[in-house]
């Protein structure tokens, strides 16, 4: 059993990673992080990605929850659903970005595919809105 999340060093990706870590500890299961191609596209993103994962690994220390990485491809939805199936996931966590009023009519295509194809419940999270916005 596991909690599965994809990670990209964006506010949405960090919120998803943090929420997934919290859920994995709460459930007493492993955390599977799918490493996306986008997170490895520049040296700056690689460094930010590694910093985020080190921070979460330190937070998981002593909890009995381990972080396991899986390399993803260019198809995020397929990668997350596949990782969830392989690890008998209890939960998939995804980060959503804020959308315009028109954009709210449609959910992102990756999020929609994950919700429809997931073999387990999906938790969608978004970062807190900055004060005054």
Taking every pair of Cα atoms in the chain, the longest distance, rounded to a whole number of angstroms, is 45
The C-alpha atoms of residue 80 and residue 55 are separated, in whole angstroms, by: 22
Residue 126 in 3-state DSSP? coil
Average pLDDT (73-99) is 90
- What percent of the chain is modeled with pLDDT above 70? 87
Mean pLDDT, all residues of the chain: 86
Could you write out the DSSP letters of every residue in 27-38?
HT-EEEEEE-GG
The C-alpha atoms of residue 81 and residue 60 are separated, in whole angstroms, by: 24
- What percent of the chain is modeled with pLDDT above 90? 56
Where residue 17 falls (left for φ over 0; alpha for ψ -120 to 50; beta otherwise) is alpha
Q: Which residues pair with 94 in a beta bridge?
A: 124
Find the angle CA(92)-CA(26)-CA(83) to the nearest 5 degrees. Answer: 25
Token look-up 């959910």 returns 107
* CA 1 centroid distance within chain: 16
pTM, two decimals, is 0.86
What is the per-residue pLDDT for 105?
A: 44
Domain 2-125, CATH: 3.40.50.620
pLDDT tens per residue across span 37-80: 776 778 888 888 899 999 999 999 999 999 999 998 878 899 99
* CA 28 centroid distance within chain: 18
């Amino acid at each position: 059993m596991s909690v599965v999340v994809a990670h990209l060093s964006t506010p949405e990706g960090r919120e998803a990673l943090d929420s997934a870590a919290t859920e994995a500890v709460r459930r007493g299961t492993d955390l599977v992080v799918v490493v996306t191609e986008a997170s490895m596209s520049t040296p700056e993103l690689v460094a930010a990605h590694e910093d985020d994962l080190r921070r979460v690994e330190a937070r998981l220390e002593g909890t009995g929850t381990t972080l396991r990485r899986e390399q993803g491809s260019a198809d995020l939805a397929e990668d997350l659903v596949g990782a969830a199936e392989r690890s008998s996931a209890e939960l998939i966590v995804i980060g959503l970005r804020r959308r315009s009023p028109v954009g709210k009519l449609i959910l992102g295509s990756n999020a929609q595919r994950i919700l429809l194809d997931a073999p387990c419940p999906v938790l969608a999270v978004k970062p807190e809105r900055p004060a005054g916005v």
